[in-house]
Amino acid sequence: MPSSRRPPSEARKAFGERVRARRRALNLTLEDLAERADLNWSYIAQVERGIRNVSIDNMAALADGLNVELRDLL
């Protein structure tokens, strides 16, 4: 594995958990957030579980959809 030297999922997990917590605090479904962030709901579900190596553009879209600054999701 080329990137075996660093833990790949720690930042993903933290980000995903914060996205989920913030989404639930706003009483949004995955579908609601998908519409607000202009992303697919199943993609967001995978981000929340730390499965996806999410890009900064999509991170910014999720932060926008959750009405927070990106740094507050990290």
| Cα separation values, 39 from 8, 42, 60, Å | 23, 9, 11
Query: 62 with 73: CB under 8 angstroms?
Result: yes
Q: Is 63 helix (H, G, I), strand (E, B) or coil?
A: helix
Q: Looking only at residues 4 through 63 of this chain, which bind a copy of itself when binding is defined by CB under 8 A? A: 5-6, 8, 10-12, 15, 38, 53-57, 59-61
CB nearer to a copy of itself: give 7 or 29.
Answer: 7
Residues that bind a copy of itself (CB under 8 A): 3, 5-6, 8, 10-12, 15, 38, 53-57, 59-61, 64, 69-72, 74
